[in-house]
Structure 1
Amino acid sequence: MSSYSAPFPEDLIDLQQQLHQAQADFHTLATAPPWGADSSPVFTEEEVDQVEELWERIRELTMAVNEHPYWTTANGSTGTHGGPVNNARRVLRVVRDPDADAGAA
């Protein structure tokens, strides 16, 4: 793990958690359909709509996380490759919501 230890704003953590959930929901949906005779997934119209909605949600959340104002102020960095901002982004990806962890225990 990175040595980066500054706390992230709650709204940024919430956005990242929503992104994790949308990605998990997409994975569940994408791997669940019954397979057709030609070994390709067979989706219902409702499932196709859900996939499209989830992709749109993932895109929106990704942009919201990436464009969050926090990244312009993190350690005074401008986001150079391998710098503090990139390290902070890596850390954010593994930050867990303590309330969700407590509920899972």
Structure 2
Amino acid sequence: MNDENPFPRDLLQLQERLHRAHAEHCAYLAGLPWSVEPMKGWAHGERYSHRGDVPDSPGWSDEQKETVDRMWAEIRQLSIDVVDHPHWKSIPADILVVSRMRLKREGRPAEAADAA
């Protein structure tokens, strides 16, 4: 911790890992079929016409389901680690939320901060 950054280095590293884990999870989900379970698609106008034609979904494989579960478990644990970090006990209650929001901004990986 220093005057320029009020957060301990390990807390910043945890927050950065959380941002990265969340980004990896979102990217992984984007590459999966649209339905977890096999489901028939539909043509434009049949249902949810705002999406246009939707192809059949083969569903997710057991490996894909396990990967998503593992990623969620990592995100949950990192979230717990950030929230339960001892640093928060030293922050007055009236500025706790503002301080946590600042950590979210400052703990972003460089490439994510550049894209935002």
Provide the TM-score with structure 2 as the length reference: 0.67
* Cα separation, 1, equivalents of 2:72 and 2:39: 26
* Runs of 4 or more above 6 Å deviation: none
Letter in 2 for 1:86: V
**Which residue of structure 1 lines up, in the alignment, with residue 16 of structure 2?**
17
Give the conservation status (yes or no) of the 8 Å contact 2:15–2:107.
no
In the alignment, the residues of structure 2 paired with residue 24 and residue 41 of structure 1 have an alpha-carbon distance, to the nearest angstrom, of: 24
Cα distance in 1 between the residues matched to 2:69 and 2:58: 15
Match of 2:64 in 1: 47
Give CA deviations for 1:75-98 in whole Å, capped at 9, x if unaligned: xx1x3xxx211100000001146x
Q: Mind listing any 5+ residue stretches in structure 1 that lack a counterpart?
A: none
Residue 26 (structure 1) shift:
1.0
Q: Per the alignment, in what secondary structure is the counterpart of residue 11 of structure 2?
A: helix
- Count of aligned pairs: 92
Given residue 17 of structure 1, which amino acid in structure 2 is its aligned partner? Answer: E
Q: Which has the larger radius of gyration?
A: 2
Counterpart position of 2:97: 86
Unaligned runs of 5+ in 2: 42-56
Aligned to 2:84: 67
String of CA shifts for 1:10-64, please: whole Å, max 9, x gaps: 0000000111011111111112113455245721221111100011001100000
What is the match of residue 56 of structure 1?
73
User: Following the alignment from structure 1 to structure 2, what is the Cα–Cα distance between the partners of residues 57 and 64?
Assistant: 10
TM-score, normalised with respect to structure 1: 0.74
Separation in 2 of the partners of 1:65 and 1:33? Answer: 29
Distance (Å, rounded) in 2 between the aligned partners of 1:85 and 1:69: 13
Please give the alpha-carbon distance, in whole angstroms, between the structure 2 residues aligned to 1:20 and 1:54: 12
